[in-house]
């Protein structure tokens, strides 16, 4: 049977993983349980490990996995009607300090459209940068999106979608052959693709010439 603090900590870790996919830090656990030091958190974690409620993921900082949750669990001292049954914890998202490999489809213009979506290399991305859905990466070529903080040589993380709303930064495929990274807007009966650099002009197309290939979900810069 779990003590009140053990149960409280287990529930806190379970809820945080379910919400964000990220294990709470020891400081966050200490504050949540109103403990005076992190040594108390370590003792509670060790006790939950011994009882097979959680496990620490090897070689990963701040990575805990909830193995099971007590069914209708009550803290020690309460008088349960019957011994609680144990049920598996729900499937949790990948811990944020894990990496996920997504396809790297070559270079995409942040200036004049160029051929894109070529190549099938894999690109390792921290799982915390990706939300739900299918993603791929593109290396940015050009400087027309610098005022949005998107620089030549950056890697754009793209969530696959085929529709866009005004103001979203998208990968737009022009005439089925060339792609560009721009801000999507509708202008009357036309589609306008806006750069984020005053040296460049907006591009206007008949909507039938433009196919949305994805929406910007994140950015990685290597130094």
In sequence order, which residues have a C-beta less than 8 Å from that of residue 149 and are 6 or more positions away? 219
**Mean predicted confidence (pLDDT) in 22-43:** 82
23 has catalytic annotation: no
How far lies 139's CA from each of 129, 135, 145, 189, in Å? 16, 14, 13, 31
Of 169 and 118, which is predicted with more confidence? 169
Tell me if the pTM is above 0.85. no
Name the strand (E) or helix (H) holding 164: none
| CA–CA separation, 23 and 96 (whole Å) | 8
Q: Which of 37, 38, 52, 144 is catalytic?
A: 144
Q: pLDDT digit string (tens) for 144-193?
A: 999 999 999 999 999 999 999 999 999 999 998 888 999 999 999 999 99
Query: CB neighbours of 81 closer than 8 A, spacing ≥ 6?
Result: none
Q: Where are the alpha helices (DSSP H) in the chain?
A: 4-20, 26-32, 38-50
Q: What is the pLDDT of residues 193-209, one digit of tens each?
A: 999 999 999 999 999 99
CB atoms within 10 A of CB 90: 10
Sign of CA dihedral 20, 25, 26, 27: negative
- Which residue, 194, 184, 190, is CA-closest to 111? 194
Cα separation, 41 vs 141, whole angstroms: 48
Superfamily (CATH) of domain 99-220: Umud Fragment, subunit A (2.10.109.10)
Q: Do 24 and 16 contact (CB within 8 A), yes or no?
A: yes
Q: Which residues pair with 111 in a beta bridge?
A: none
Is-catalytic flag, 38? no
CATH number for the region 4-88 comes to: 1.10.10.10
- Is the pLDDT at 114 greater than 80? The verdict is no
pLDDT tens track for 53-72 = 888 765 454 578 888 887 64
- Catalytic one of 23, 25, 39, 182: 182
Cα 142 to Cα 197: distance, rounded to the nearest angstrom: 11
Pairing of strands 135-141, 99-109: parallel
Rg (the chain; Cα; Å): 24
Q: Which two tokens stand for residue 144?
A: 């027309």
- Between CA 212 and CA 14 the distance in angstroms is 38
Domain ranges of the chain: 4-88, 99-220
């Amino acid at each position: 049977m779990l003590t009140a603090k053990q149960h409280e900590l287990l529930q806190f870790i379970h809820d945080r993983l379910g919400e964000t996919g990220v294990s709470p830090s020891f400081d966050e656990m200490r504050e949540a349980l109103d403990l005076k030091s992190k040594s108390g958190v370590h003792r509670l974690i060790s006790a939950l490990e011994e009882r097979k409620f959680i496990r620490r993921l090897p070689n990963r900082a701040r990575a805990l996995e909830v193995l099971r949750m007590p069914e209708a669990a009550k803290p020690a001292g309460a008088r349960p009607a019957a011994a609680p049954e144990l049920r598996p914890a729900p499937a949790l998202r990948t811990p944020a300090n894990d990496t996920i490999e997504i396809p790297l489809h070559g270079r995409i213009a942040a200036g004049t459209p160029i051929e894109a979506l070529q190549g099938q290399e894999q690109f390792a991305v921290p799982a915390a940068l990706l939300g739900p859905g299918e993603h791929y990466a593109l290396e940015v070529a050009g400087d027309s999106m610098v005022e949005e903080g998107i620089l030549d040589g950056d890697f754009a993380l793209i969530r696959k979608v085929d529709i866009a709303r005004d103001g979203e930064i998208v990968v737009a495929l022009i005439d089925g052959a060339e792609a560009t990274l721009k801000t999507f807007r509708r202008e009357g009966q036309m589609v306008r693709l806006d750069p984020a650099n005053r040296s460049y002009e907006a591009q206007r197309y008949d909507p039938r010439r433009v196919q949305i290939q994805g929406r910007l979900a994140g950015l990685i810069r290597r130094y």
